[in-house]
Structure formats: C-alpha cells, structure tokens
Amino acid sequence: MTEPEFTATGVRIDKRLRSLTRAGQVRIRDGRVQLLTSYGSEIDSAPVQAVRASKPWFASDDRALADLNGQRYSLT
C-alpha cells in the first residue's frame, strides 16, 4: 500500500522573524515532509515520523507551526 501524497502551494514559510518564501510549497511524498521555495529548491526536509506540527492557540486559522530537524517554521 502506497502512502498518500500531499502538496500545498502558495505557502508562506517563515523561520523566526525571517521570511524564507512567500509562495512556497509543503510536500509530503515517499514518507518525507519537504519545505520548498517557489522555485522548487528545498528549504528543509525530514521523515514524517520526525516532524511535529501544531497550531498556536493565539494564531489565525490559516497558520501552523512545523518542527523539522530541530528548526521551527511558521506556515501560512
């Protein structure tokens, strides 16, 4: 049984107070989560089991936090 794939485009990806891309992609494929720039360059990736995603209680509905390889990214 193959794992489902997921791709979200037009995602703003921030790391702390620094914007990495305004139109990036979040892709889940082959058991890995990938954060990509709008040009397709990889920002970071990690196995799905090692990624922690959460939604801050104070944030708007379209914002999430993702921890990959010890780095925290804000996804909007």
* Tens-digit pLDDT profile for residues 16-50: 889 999 999 999 999 999 999 999 999 999 999 99
Is residue 76 included in any domain, yes or no?
Answer: no
Is residue 1 included in any domain, yes or no?
Answer: no
The pair phi, psi for residue 41, each rounded to 5°, is -75, 140
**What pLDDT, on the 0 to 100 scale, is given for residue 4?**
65
Considering the chain, what percentage of its residues have pLDDT values greater than 70?
95
What's the mean per-residue pLDDT of the chain? Answer: 91
Helices (H), the chain: none
Domain count, the chain: 1
Is residue 31 included in any domain, yes or no?
Answer: yes
Contact yes or no for 75/6 (Cβ under 8 A): no
Is residue 30 included in any domain, yes or no?
Answer: yes
Which tokens sit at 64? 């999430």
Task: Say if residue 3's pLDDT is above 70.
Answer: no
Work out the average pLDDT over 39-67: 91
The three-class DSSP label of residue 62 is coil
Neighbours of 25 (CB within 10 A): 19
- The domain of 61 spans 6-71
